């Protein structure tokens, strides 16, 4: 399961722009993730500049790992 830590999310939209399957949506006050469309690539987790996206299935990739789209 994926979740957004709203206490540190600054709603910058970086996760929205990096998602290859467009399953992340930015409303005015919340980030929504469609987990049925999510392919679990981890791009959003690695691409979040504040580390606000977490997932119980995420096991790899450090914060300095290069992201290739």
Max intra-chain CA distance, the chain? 30
DSSP 29: S
Work out the pLDDT band at 68, boundaries 50, 70, 90: very low
Global pTM reads: 0.76
- For residue range 27-62, what is the model confidence (pLDDT) as tens digits? 877 889 998 999 999 999 999 999 999 888 776 655
For β-strands 31-33 and 2-4, DSSP reports them as: unpaired
69, pLDDT greater than 50? no
Domains by residue range for the chain, with CATH: 2-55 (3.30.70.20)
Closest CA to 49 of 2, 26, 15: 15
Work out the pLDDT band at 22, boundaries 50, 70, 90: very high
């Amino acid at each position: 399961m994926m979740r957004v830590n709203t206490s540190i999310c600054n709603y910058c939209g970086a996760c929205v722009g990096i998602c290859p399957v467009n399953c992340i949506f930015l409303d005015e006050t919340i980030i929504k993730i469609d987990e049925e469309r999510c392919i679990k690539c981890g791009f959003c987790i690695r691409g979040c500049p504040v580390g606000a996206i977490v997932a119980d299935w995420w096991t790899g990739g450090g914060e300095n790992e290069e992201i290739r789209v």
